[in-house]
Amino acid sequence: MFGTKAHLRAENDHLFIEGVDALDLAKEYGTPLYVTSEARLRQNVQNYHKAFPDADKYFAIKANGSLAILRILAQEGMGADVFSGGELYLARLAGVPQDKILYNGNSKSVRDHLMALEAGVRMSVDSREELSYLSRNVASTGKGAKILFRVNPDISPATHPKIATGLKTSKFGIPFGQVAEAYMVAMDLPGIEPVGLHCHIGSQILDTAPFAEAMDRMMDIASEVIKAGGDIKTIDIGGGLGIQYIPDTPAPSPSDLASAILPIFKSRCKELGISPMLNLEPGRSIVADTTVMLTGVNVVKKAHQNFAAVDAGFNALARPMLYDSYHHVVVASKASQKLEEKYTVVGPICETGDILAKDRTLPKLESGDILAFLDAGAYGFSMASQYNGNPRPAEVLINGDKAELIRRAEDYSALLQGQRMPPRLLW
Ligand code: LLP
């Protein structure tokens, strides 16, 4: 029933996450609730280490910024891909060493540069224009910068258009034909040391061929840079490996990715006589399948179709609304029962598009049932909002048969956070 997810099972008709009954969690912490398996998280990192023993892996913090999770990833030897000052702050708090952090971003402010320079982390420079104001910021602080260049590789993987990031038309990176020249310009700038190339072709990619294509392109640029007298210490191929959200739609594993890109990387480095570090930036494939989101059924309504209205909407899990994403649903309170009725699962938000799952055949539902949305660990809580006056949910970490709260649920006071009432409006 749960495929390769060894941390999930049905017992006494209930869903268990490792040794803990999902219904006990729902009762104790309330719903909606994010529940993460620590064992699965550590296992996922180990799979990457095994597939890429010589590469540096930087976790993409945008996928999941919960500190306890980041701490576990740091313990397991993951670095961090950060895309904002806030993510840099989280990475440092989690204990990620500065030489394992890459500050990415297509729209960095002067403040972002200063923060990265102060922290002594490398930056991925997204444009020639950014290079020139980075150079000014380097001069004003007197702190040197090691940089990579974000390459726009013009590669079109099959994924949702909103998360394909390496298309020619996308906002990210420098057109690949102009990168070597930018590298040369950077080499002449005082305080700036270009150390490598970076790309990221998109997310939830289920075929390894586009990664191989990207690697080839990166090595073409590396070759131009070397010929022009530059040095390449790092090739960062980004993240993007997809996961199996839909039963029967398997995803490549980290070792499949390794088989697709390592031979190209190694042979072309050998040809060029260089030995750069390979960097990867996985997000989703590290955290997605570690986590379920539990949500309680409020109303089961028979209209022109059956609706199960639950307490999580796109405020708690935005992916279905944003990308029509599929998250598999298991009824945690009827985990072994016959699938016999079709339901569309909707949230409490005042928008017709607040649909979490369409036309799913589930056991007969009633008010009080608990549903589990699987694979919610990536871009789940991290994209949650308070829309429609909904405080964000709690998060729990499961370690064997123990559950630990790693983020308490917000209460209504969170809706007021930071707000000020001008005295003239006081009542
Ligand atoms: N590196 C860079 C520079 C990125 O922009 C991203 C993701 C990653 C690494 C990690 O990619 P991953 O391994 O997670 O695919 N919110 C969307 C996904 C947005 C991805 C943005 N960039 C979703 O829920 O599907």
Tell me: the pLDDT tens digits for 233-254? 999 999 999 999 999 999 999 9
Q: How far apart are CA 273 and CA 146, in angstroms?
A: 22
For a mutational test of ligand 1's pocket, the pick from 52, 61, 159, 281, i.e. the residue with the most ligand atoms closer than 8 A to its C-beta, is 281
**Ligand 1: residues whose CB is within 6 Å?**
60, 62-63, 81, 104, 163, 165, 200, 203-204, 238-241, 281-285, 319, 323, 378-379
Q: Which two tokens stand for residue 403?
A: 């559950």
Q: How far is the CA of 288 from the centre of ligand 1 (A)?
A: 12
Determine whether 350 is an active site residue: yes
Mapping DSSP onto H, E and C, the string for 7-76 reads: CEEEECCEEEECCEEHHHHHHHHCCCEEEEEHHHHHHHHHHHHHHCCCCEEEEEHHHCCCHHHHHHHHHC
Q: How far apart are CA 20 and CA 22, in angstroms?
A: 6
Residue 379 in this model has a pLDDT that exceeds 80: yes
Q: Which band of pLDDT confidence, cut at 50, 70 and 90, is reported for residue 164?
A: confident
- At 108, give phi and psi (nearest 5°): -85, 140
Atom of ligand 1 nearest to the CA of 203: 15
Residue 59 in this model has a pLDDT that exceeds 90: yes
Atom of ligand 1 nearest to the CA of 325: 25
Average pLDDT over every residue of 207-213:
96
Average pLDDT over every residue of 198-220:
96
**Nearest-CA neighbor of 376 among 292, 295, 251, 301?**
292
Residue 157 in this model has a pLDDT that exceeds 90: no
Query: 315-342 pLDDT, tens per residue?
Result: 999 999 999 999 999 999 999 999 999 9
Q: Which band of pLDDT confidence, cut at 50, 70 and 90, is reported for residue 353?
A: very high
Q: In this predicted structure, what is the pLDDT of residue 165?
A: 72
Average pLDDT over every residue of 99-113:
96
E strands, 62-172, in order: 79-82, 101-103, 122-125, 145-152
Q: How far is the CA of 164 from the centre of ligand 1 (A)?
A: 9
Residue 170 in this model has a pLDDT that exceeds 90: no
Q: How far is the CA of 418 from the centre of ligand 1 (A)?
A: 29
Atom of ligand 1 nearest to the CA of 286: 13
For a mutational test of ligand 1's pocket, the pick from 52, 62, 245, i.e. the residue with the most ligand atoms closer than 8 A to its C-beta, is 62
Q: In this predicted structure, what is the pLDDT of residue 355?
A: 98
Q: Which band of pLDDT confidence, cut at 50, 70 and 90, is reported for residue 163?
A: confident
Specify the pairing of strand 192-198 against strand 234-236. Answer: parallel
Q: Could you say which of 350, 416, 421, 426 is catalytic?
A: 350
Q: How far is the CA of 275 from the centre of ligand 1 (A)?
A: 27
Q: How far is the CA of 401 from the centre of ligand 1 (A)?
A: 32
* Omega within 30 of 0 (cis) for the link into 263: no
Q: In this predicted structure, what is the pLDDT of residue 318?
A: 98
Q: What is the pTM of this model?
A: 0.97
For a mutational test of ligand 1's pocket, the pick from 56, 124, 203, 204, i.e. the residue with the most ligand atoms closer than 8 A to its C-beta, is 203
Q: In this predicted structure, what is the pLDDT of residue 154?
A: 87
Residue 190 in this model has a pLDDT that exceeds 90: yes
Query: 280-311 pLDDT, tens per residue?
Result: 999 999 999 999 999 999 999 999 999 999 99
Q: In this predicted structure, what is the pLDDT of residue 167?
A: 72
Q: What is the mean pLDDT of the chain?
A: 96
Instruction: Provide the b/e sequence for 271-305 (b: ≥16 CB within 10 Å).
Output: ebebebebbbbbbbbbbbbbbbbbbbbeebeeeee
Residue 166 in this model has a pLDDT that exceeds 80: no
Higher pLDDT, 280 or 160: 280
Report which secondary-structure segment, H or E, holds 171: none
Q: How far is the CA of 174 from the centre of ligand 1 (A)?
A: 18
Whether the Cβ atoms of residue 140 and residue 151 lie closer than 8 Å to each other: no
